[in-house]
């Protein structure tokens, strides 16, 4: 347990009184569109990703979230004198796999370095990281934009270890003390640094979404932002449109969702423009995002690279990747999300929106493809996911993986509908029953097995009744408005309580009206 650190002076205090007043106004009123249009943002993202290894980066401690505080620790991750680090080979494999998936050039030889800084949750007083010779460089991700697609460059991907965690809330004396949990010390990380190619908060959101998709498909991380497996810092500055020189950047930290990152960037861009328009000067600093207030706050002045006094890690030799290791990693590369979407659209004749939903995770894509290949009509499987499944999941705040109805269950339902054994109304009722009982679709169907009316005479009798009750619609149909047939189908389906066989009903309605 350590005393809480005293915050550094607020850099906003350097502004003049008039600038402070105008800056305060910027937190409550948005910048006029004509002023915003004069500027463009320059955004770069630094994403820290915890690797999904069984043990830590440089020791044998369990890499496990949620263990009791300070239990997954040893002399190495506690930084005790004489303890030496040993590099985790699986972490190297995962980092290399991520590098290749992000189109990076992987170095044959990279160097670990010590990044020196003092913080209560960093017991060694330095972090083992990589600096001038990182594992990989010069990658890219393509993101969708209103104008098509845009390539966002990746400057570098390097390996490092995580620090511990300072706990500022949840204790009786949290107002005066900070608690430290060192379980996270030594967790293997990759840091992915983008080029300053991003110009809007929406582009930043799309970049992060695509990055997370790729990492999830490779299996190198679970990317769980709530548990800190994926954390993002955003560097943002503004400049007049057409200018070549970058403005002074601020780093936005403590953002725990992509939606909040987009909101934080929107706020920060307007804040900086307001300062410049008021005659003030943007200062280089780190700022914290407050989601409840929808604004950023100054945290501390921003360090430069030389402040960390990087030097080569003396206890670790250079990391040399052999040709054999690279070959083994290439074999682990799955079909990545964008390529898989394109193939699924062509193979199953589904829409781009269907493909986007069905490739949300690698597991879901695998399940869909397994079900689609077994189903009579893969497109109907995709349609049921979009029309019947996702709305119910959203209403219950569930993820696709938490659905009581599996992909096999959806394929089963799709085949019944394809064969005309279930009307759309019956299908909806069975989906509702499955969500209420928590059972898969086949089990609910076997229990409730809705009966269909397949006797033509019985259906014709109901059609005659509906036609007799709606002479105006009959006249419209026979006058050339053929779409009115759907009205009669709906009325008969209502009369039959959803039990009329849909294919037979459509056939008989057309026959009766034409006759």
The pLDDT value recorded for residue 455 is 76
The pairing of strands 250-255 and 285-290 is parallel
Which residues neighbour 490 within 8 Å (Cβ) at sequence distance 6 or greater?
Answer: none
> Where are the chain's structural domains?
2-305, 335-448, 456-514
Mean pLDDT of the chain: 89
What's the CA gap between 125 and 80, in Å, rounded?
11
Which residues neighbour 180 within 8 Å (Cβ) at sequence distance 6 or greater?
Answer: 1, 2, 120, 121, 164, 165, 166, 167
Segment 86-114 shows an average pLDDT of 97
Residue 431's nearest CA partner among 418, 415, 442, 420 is: 442
Q: How many CB atoms lie within 10 A of CB 383?
A: 17
Segment 255-277 shows an average pLDDT of 94
Q: Contact 488/440 with Cβ under 8 angstroms?
A: no
Range with the poorest average pLDDT among 85-89, 314-318, 448-452: 448-452
3-class state of residue 311 by DSSP: strand
What's the CA gap between 120 and 75, in Å, rounded?
17
Which token pair is 509? 């309605």
DSSP run (H or E) holding 488: helix 485-495
The pLDDT value recorded for residue 68 is 95
The pLDDT value recorded for residue 22 is 40
Whole-number Cα distances in Å, 217 to 135, 333, 335, 344, 436: 21, 9, 8, 16, 32
Asked if pLDDT for residue 190 goes beyond 50, the answer is: yes
Q: Between residues 146 and 453, which one has the greater pLDDT?
A: 146
Cα within 13 Å of Cα(424), Cβ side? 11
Range with the poorest average pLDDT among 19-28, 35-44, 391-400, 426-435: 19-28
What's the CA gap between 406 and 424, in Å, rounded?
19
Q: Contact 188/112 with Cβ under 8 angstroms?
A: no
Asked if pLDDT for residue 432 goes beyond 50, the answer is: yes
The pLDDT value recorded for residue 498 is 73
Which residues neighbour 114 within 8 Å (Cβ) at sequence distance 6 or greater?
Answer: 126, 127, 128, 129, 309, 310, 311, 312, 313
pLDDT digits (tens, 9 = 90+) for 334-352: 999 999 999 999 999 999 9
Phi, psi of 299 (to 5 degrees): -110, -55
Asked if pLDDT for residue 457 goes beyond 90, the answer is: no
What's the CA gap between 478 and 421, in Å, rounded?
30
pLDDT digits (tens, 9 = 90+) for 351-390: 999 999 899 889 889 999 999 999 999 999 999 998 899 8
Residue 421's nearest CA partner among 332, 504, 338 is: 504
Range with the poorest average pLDDT among 121-125, 429-433, 467-471: 467-471
Q: Contact 137/107 with Cβ under 8 angstroms?
A: yes
Asked if pLDDT for residue 6 goes beyond 60, the answer is: no
The pLDDT value recorded for residue 26 is 40
Q: How many CB atoms lie within 10 A of CB 242?
A: 7
Distance of CA 443 to the CA centre of its chain: 33
Which token pair is 129? 């990281």
**CATH number of the domain at 456-514, please?**
1.10.10.410
Q: Is residue 15 very low, low, confident or very high in pLDDT (cuts 50, 70, 90)? A: very low
Q: How many CB atoms lie within 10 A of CB 60?
A: 12
Whole-number Cα distances in Å, 61 to 50, 51, 230, 332: 15, 14, 20, 25
pLDDT digits (tens, 9 = 90+) for 121-139: 999 999 999 999 999 999 9
Which residues neighbour 515 within 8 Å (Cβ) at sequence distance 6 or greater?
Answer: none
Q: Is residue 27 very low, low, confident or very high in pLDDT (cuts 50, 70, 90)? A: very low
Residue 74's nearest CA partner among 83, 86, 87 is: 83
Whole-number Cα distances in Å, 370 to 213, 375, 408, 409: 20, 9, 8, 12
3-class state of residue 182 by DSSP: coil
The percent of residues above 90 in pLDDT, for the chain, comes to: 69
What's the CA gap between 10 and 20, in Å, rounded?
12
The pairing of strands 311-312 and 109-110 is unpaired
User: pTM here?
Assistant: 0.81
Q: How many CB atoms lie within 10 A of CB 238?
A: 27
Q: Contact 247/282 with Cβ under 8 angstroms?
A: yes
What's the CA gap between 345 and 357, in Å, rounded?
12
- List strand residue ranges (DSSP E) for 241-393, in order: 250-255, 285-290, 295-301, 311-312, 319-320
Phi, psi of 204 (to 5 degrees): -60, -40
Q: Contact 104/154 with Cβ under 8 angstroms?
A: yes
């Amino acid at each position: 347990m350590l005393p809480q650190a005293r915050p550094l002076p607020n850099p906003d205090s350097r502004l003049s009184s008039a600038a402070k007043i105008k800056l305060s106004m910027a937190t409550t009123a948005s910048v006029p569109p004509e002023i915003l249009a004069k500027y463009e943002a320059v955004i770069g993202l630094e994403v820290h990703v915890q690797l999904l290894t069984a043990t830590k980066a440089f020791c044998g401690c369990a890499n496990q979230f949620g263990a009791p505080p300070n239990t997954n620790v040893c002399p190495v991750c506690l930084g005790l004198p004489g303890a030496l680090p040993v590099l985790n080979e699986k972490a190297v494999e995962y980092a290399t796999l991520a590098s290749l998936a992000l189109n990076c050039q992987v170095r044959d030889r990279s160097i670990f370095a010590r990044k020196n800084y003092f913080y209560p949750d960093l017991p060694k007083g330095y972090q083992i990281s990589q600096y001038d010779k990182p594992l990989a460089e010069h990658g890219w991700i393509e993101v969708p934009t209103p104008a098509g697609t845009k390539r966002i460059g990746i400057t570098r991907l390097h390996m490092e270890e995580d620090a511990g965690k300072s706990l500022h809330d949840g204790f009786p004396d949290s107002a005066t003390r900070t608690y430290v949990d060192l379980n996270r010390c030594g967790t293997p990380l990759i840091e992915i640094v983008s080029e300053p190619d991003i110009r809007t908060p929406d582009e930043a959101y799309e970049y992060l979404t695509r990055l997370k998709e790729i990492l999830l498909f490779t299996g190198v991380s679970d990317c769980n932002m709530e548990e800190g497996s994926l954390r993002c810092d955003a560097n943002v500055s503004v400049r007049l449109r057409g200018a070549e020189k970058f403005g002074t950047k601020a780093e936005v930290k403590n953002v725990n969702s992509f939606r909040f990152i987009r909101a934080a960037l929107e706020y920060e861009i307007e804040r900086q423009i307001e300062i410049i328009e008021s005659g003030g000067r943007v200062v280089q600093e780190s700022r914290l995002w407050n989601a409840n207030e929808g604004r950023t706050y100054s945290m501390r002045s921003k360090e430069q690279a030389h402040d960390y006094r990087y030097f080569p890690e003396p206890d670790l030799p250079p990391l040399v990747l052999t040709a054999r290791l690279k070959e083994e990693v290439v074999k682990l590369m799955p079909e990545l999300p964008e390529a898989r979407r394109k193939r699924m659209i062509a193979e199953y004749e589904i829409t781009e929106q269907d493909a986007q939903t069905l490739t949300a995770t690698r597991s879901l894509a695998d399940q869909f493809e397994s079900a689609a290949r077994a189903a009579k009509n893969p497109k109907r499987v995709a349609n049921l996911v979009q029309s019947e499944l996702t709305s119910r999941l959203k209403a219950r705040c569930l993820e696709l993986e938490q659905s009581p109805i599996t992909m096999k269950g959806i394929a089963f339902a799709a085949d019944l509908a394809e064969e005309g054994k279930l009307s759309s109304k019956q299908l909806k009722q069975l989906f509702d029953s499955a969500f209420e009982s928590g059972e898969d679709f086949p089990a609910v169907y076997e229990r409730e097995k809705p009966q269909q009316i397949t006797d033509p005479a019985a259906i014709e009798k109901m059609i005659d009744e509906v036609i007799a009750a709606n002479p105006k619609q009959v006249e419209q149909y026979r006058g050339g408005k053929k779409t009115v047939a759907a009205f009669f189908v709906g009325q008969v389906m209502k009369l039959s309580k959803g039990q009329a066989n849909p294919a037979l009903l459509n056939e008989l309605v057309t026959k009766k009206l034409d006759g």
